[in-house]
Amino acid sequence: AAGLAAAAGVIAAGSDGTPERRVLLALLAGAWGLRLAIYLFVDRVRRGEEDGRYRRLREFWGARASVNFFLFFQAQALFIVGFAVPFVGVAANPVPGLGPWDWLAIVVWTVAVAGEWMADRQLARFRADPANRGKTCRTGLWRVSRHPNYFFEWVHWWAYVLLAAGSPLWGLTLLGPGLMLLFLFKVTGIPHTEQQALASRGEDYRRYQQTTSAFFPWFPREAAR
């Protein structure tokens, strides 16, 4: 997250697009990256607990875990390069001044970052209560989506698609939401998170899967009997 924020700043500074939009890109991507980096540091590093997804991979890989993790994180580094590509499309936008698409982008970015922050906070408060150990969070945004934090992270990338409206490199920005969707559904997102949840919460999480949308927020369903 911090690396992508830095990449956005470098790309914005070294491009020829409209200055106001390049500054906006650096501010939005910087604020997003800083918030996410702080959250990950507090939630993962400071607590001193290994991410459950990685713990399961370590157990699955066994003796080859070190080598496989090295290759795994190298592959993730390539994803990071891919996620920086949309910033090039925004920074190259020559449309003068800030127009309706830019203001809409700010609204989308604000809703997405606020939604992700709210989802993270709701989950943290739920986990902080010892009475909830072994239970699944079903409050707030977690009532309408099993992964609201992932959903709003994906929405956030559409802000850069809007910021690049009019750019000759606009198509590059579609790589952001596209890669994020691939990452969430096929790499380290939803599948591994749900495997870990089923292993730790069992039947309670299965009932949650039956009633709650996996990604897009929607009204809860009735559980199968």
Spell out the per-residue pLDDT of the chain, length 225, in tens: 778 899 999 999 999 999 999 999 999 999 999 998 888 888 766 665 666 666 666 776 788 878 877 777 777 677 778 899 999 999 999 999 999 999 999 999 999 999 999 999 999 999 999 999 999 999 999 999 999 999 999 999 999 999 999 999 999 999 999 999 998 998 778 998 999 899 889 999 999 999 999 999 999 998 665
Amino acid at 84: A
> Residue 83 is which amino acid?
F
Rounded CA gap, 101 and 93, in Å?
Answer: 12
Can you tell me the distance from the alpha carbon of 160 to that of 28, in angstroms, rounded to the nearest whole number? 9
- How far, in Å, CA of 29 to CA of 109, rounded? 9
Token representation of residue 213: 């949308």
pTM metric for this prediction: 0.88
Helix, strand, coil % in the chain, rounded to nearest 5: 75, 0, 25
E strand or H helix at 39: helix 19-40
Q: How far apart are CA 73 and CA 8, in angstroms?
A: 21
- Sequence-distant (≥ 6) Cβ neighbours of residue 168 within 8 angstroms: 92, 94
